[in-house]
Amino acid sequence: MKKIILYTLLLLFVGGASAQKIVKGTVKDEKGTALAGATICLTDDITVGTTADTDGAFVLKIKSDYKGKIQASYVGYTTQYKDITDKKQQNIAFTLKEDVKYLDQVVVTGTRTPKLLSEAPIQTRLITSEDIEKTDAANITDLLQQEMPGSEFSYAMNQQVNMNMAGFFGQSVLFLIDGERLSGETMDNVDFQRLDMNNVERIEIVKGAASALYGSSAAGGVINIITKDKMTKPVSVGLSARYGSHNNQMYSANIGLNKGMFHNMLSVNYTGIDTYTVDYNKDNDFNQVFGGNTWNFKDKLILTPSDDLKFTAKAGYFFRERLYNTDIPDRYRDFNGGLRGNWTINDRSDMELSYNFDQYDKSDYIKAKDLDIRDYSNVQNSVRALYNYSFSKTDQDRLLTFGADYMHDYLDSYQFSDGYKSQNTADVFAQYDWNLNKYWEIVGALRYDWFSDGNNSNLTEKVTIRWHKDAFTVRLGYGGGFRAPSLKEKYMNYDMANIFYIRGNKDLKNEKSHNFNISGEYTHGSFNYTASAYYNLVQNRITTSALKNDGDGTGNYVQYMNIDDINVYGGEITAQCRLPLGLNAKVCYSYTKEEIKQMGTLNPYAPARPHSLVFRMDYDRQVSKDYGFNILFSGRYLSSVDSEKFNTQDNTSVNVTYPAYTLWKLSFTQRIMKKIRISAALDNLFNYIPSPYYFNSPTTSGRTFYIDVSVNL
């Protein structure tokens, strides 16, 4: 009996062993270096796997009837796949190539032509959809402050939001959506609430003067928000909901349809938050943060009748209500639409034609009378043509770009005393992109802008040199920047709550700048390092004067004026990497210095903080094909800064120091069946509370939380 049992166990053991295949092999790079710790697993079941030893060797046992694929992956390298044969024992040699994930994205903002990020002659900062998903940012202000040091969003008067990016305020940083300008402004900035992160593919940021391609308002840089338009499935539906502190709510829906040559993406987004109290300290600039709600509808229809022809139609509606006064809340609306055609003429040339309409309105809603009184409307109609010609059929060694724009700008504002104002603008520009050889590239651009109102026409130039060899890239450039005075800055005549008047100045000159920049980049495997430095000489900066009184009984006033000789310089250092086992990290430090030689002016916004830093580390793990998670720890630090503050008690300005602060965030995201995503986060993790609250402090009332659930069908 014992022998029968022994034989039975032996047969079971042998049968189990024979029911397995043994796959042996090695994992090395293209130079033959062993990749110790590389992961080897089944493609359709990552739970069946092993790791390579110090010599890159591995042994993997799998079921005998398995006939799928096996994959080898290593951080910083592209994953490679091999077929499994019917043999009981198989030897496989994997040779992995370096994965330049940071550099293989296509960007268009720096040169207005598609370029790989690694080959872009203009240094471009890229925020991908993956970055947006990890940070879980609800809006553009939150995202930029988490991703870019040197970017700060603070309050201006009446709690309108103002931006400072590396020493340039919001009116000198051009925001685009799919390459199109935005109408309207709030305290000299675009309405940032319009720029939600729903359905965004990527964000491309070019710092420094870009006026040679984009004209006025691009002296400090360009931020181009590019929305999604690629769909592979016939129908796709994405739903998400968020709830957080102060009754902060956000609901989004994306519906995509893909039928042959037709692609349509509809995006709907709602946000809402209650007014909340921060502190009743009498020294505060504010004691409450005003709540409100927004609606944002966007639709994009793409028609591709052939591989050479593509038509895009867009339409959108935006609504925002701000509870500055609960009885008479502020309302903001935007209507926009556009048509674009892209035609690949032949192997050497292509053309783009587009028309865009954008109308931004402000109104006061009187609840007691159910009256909605519009007191501001900015309407822009613009037409653009762009033509590219390559002197070579096989590559873009020499690429010539021509473009022209026309815009009619209409503004009717409560800040005017004598009715609406309008003007026409037009421009032509040309760019020549020349790859001298495999190491050197030079790009030159020239643009002329014409304005019908006043003597503000301008000629702008730009030249950039790029050198690239192996893992190193160096960029050196000069760019001219300019900003023509707006209609508001020319013709404004507004009473600031009986404290003083703000007067326009129709004799304002163009604000001009000369931007010199240099950057270096090194990429190897999973590591990427960049360092850059810049110097801006700003002439005729448009700002407001110190408080004046002509003694004629009209009272105190400030007036828009030009000041000269402002130097803005600094630099930035970034290091990012993807470490083994799913660890990713990035740290970026920025230094900014402003030197204003002409004093006696009243700048309503604080200057840039000299030192700032952002940090992000996350751990991402796909436990099985149906479950994965991500843990993110991120933060930012901003140093103190000295500025002037207007004292409404005696109509004078006083020197103030805005203190340094740091904010940190911890979030945990779960992915279930590739369909469901659940995120929970603690913001302001260490419970920082400003004392007192000032216009340049964060508006946090302490530690906050939110939970976010999204479903993709």
Q: For residue 9, what pLDDT band results from cuts at 50, 70 and 90?
A: very low
Tokens 């006064």 label which residue?
325
Predicted confidence (pLDDT) at residue 600 exceeds the cutoff of 50: no
The answer to whether position 408 is within a domain reads: yes
250 falls in which pLDDT band (50, 70, 90)?
Answer: very high
CA 649 to CA 499: how far, in whole Å? 9
Whether residue 91 sits in one domain with residue 223: no
pLDDT tier for residue 460 given thresholds of 50, 70 and 90: very high
Q: Check residue 13 and give its pLDDT.
A: 44
Rounded-to-5 percentages of helix, strand, coil across the chain: 10, 60, 30
Residue-level pLDDT at 357? 98
Reported as a single tens digit per residue, the pLDDT across 320-349 is: 999 998 899 999 999 999 999 999 999 899
Same domain, 470 and 589: yes
Structural domain includes residue 499: yes
User: Do 361 and 319 contact (CB within 8 A), yes or no?
Assistant: no
- Residue 135 to residue 141: CA distance in whole angstroms: 12
Are residues 123 and 234 part of one domain? yes
Say whether both 55 and 115 belong to one domain.
Answer: no
Domain count, the chain: 2
Report H helices in 28-99.
none
Q: How many CA atoms lie within 13 A of 150 on its CB side?
A: 24
Q: For residue 671, give the CATH number of its domain.
A: 2.40.170.20
Q: What's this model's pTM, rounded to 2 decimal places?
A: 0.88
Residues 447 and 417 in one domain: yes
Are residues 438 and 414 part of one domain? yes
CB 669 within 8 A of CB 626: no
Residue 647 scores a pLDDT above 80: no
d(CA 267, CA 257): 12
Per-residue confidence (pLDDT) for residue 646, from 0 to 100: 63
Mean pLDDT score, 258-275? 94
Is residue 184 assigned to a domain? no
Q: What percent of the chain has pLDDT above 90?
A: 57
Report pLDDT for 17: 44
Classified as helix, coil or strand, 490 is: helix
Token pair of 69 as six digits = 């694929």
Question: Above 70 in pLDDT, residue 601?
Answer: no
Q: Is residue 338 part of a domain?
A: yes
Reported as a single tens digit per residue, the pLDDT across 387-433 is: 999 988 666 689 999 999 999 999 999 999 888 999 999 999 999 99
pLDDT of residue 8: 46
Residue 489 belongs to some domain of the structure: yes
pLDDT at 18: 46
Closest CA to 112 of 435, 342, 300, 409: 342
Cα–Cα distance, 492 to 413 (Å, whole number): 9
DSSP characters for 411-437?
EEETT-SS--EEEEEEEEEEEEEEE-S
Binned at pLDDT 50, 70 and 90, residue 598 comes out as low
- Is residue 168 situated within a structural domain? no
DSSP 282: T
Q: How high does pLDDT run on average in the chain?
A: 88
The answer to whether residues 166 and 94 touch, using CB atoms and an 8 Å cutoff, is: no
Q: Is 378 in contact with 411 (CB distance < 8 Å)?
A: yes
The residue ranking higher by pLDDT, 386 or 77, is 386
SS3 131: helix
Q: CA angle at residue 642 from 638 to 646, to 5 degrees?
A: 120
Bond from prior residue into 114 cis (ω within 30 degrees of 0): no
Q: Tens of pLDDT along 529-585?
A: 999 999 999 999 998 887 777 777 677 888 899 988 889 999 999 999 887 677 899
Q: How large a percentage of the chain has pLDDT more than 70?
A: 92
Is 124 found in the same domain as 78? no
The average pLDDT across 112-139 equals 87
> For position 217, what pLDDT does the model report?
92
Question: What average pLDDT does this structure show over 57-70?
Answer: 86
Tell whether 664 is covered by a domain: yes
* Mean pLDDT, rounded, for 433-446: 93
What secondary structure, in 3-state letters, does 253-271 show? EEEEEEECCEEEEEEEEEE
The reply to whether 119 and 36 lie within a common domain is no
What Å distances lie between residue 352 and 264, 311, 312, 470, CA to CA? 20, 10, 11, 34
Question: Quick check: 303 pLDDT over 90?
Answer: yes
Residues 373 and 515 in one domain: yes
In a domain, 390, yes or no: yes
pLDDT at position 687: 95
Length in residues, the chain? 713
Are 217 and 88 members of one domain?
no
Question: Mind listing the pLDDT tens digit for each residue in 156-171?
Answer: 778 889 898 988 888 8
Torsions phi, psi for 131 (to 5 deg): -65, -45
Q: Output the pLDDT for position 205.
A: 93
Same domain, 207 and 273: yes
Same domain for 92 and 110: no
Joined tokens for residue 669 = 């995201």
pLDDT at 75: 67
Question: Which residue range forms the structural domain that includes residue 56?
Answer: 2-96
| Mean of pLDDT values over 355-377 | 96
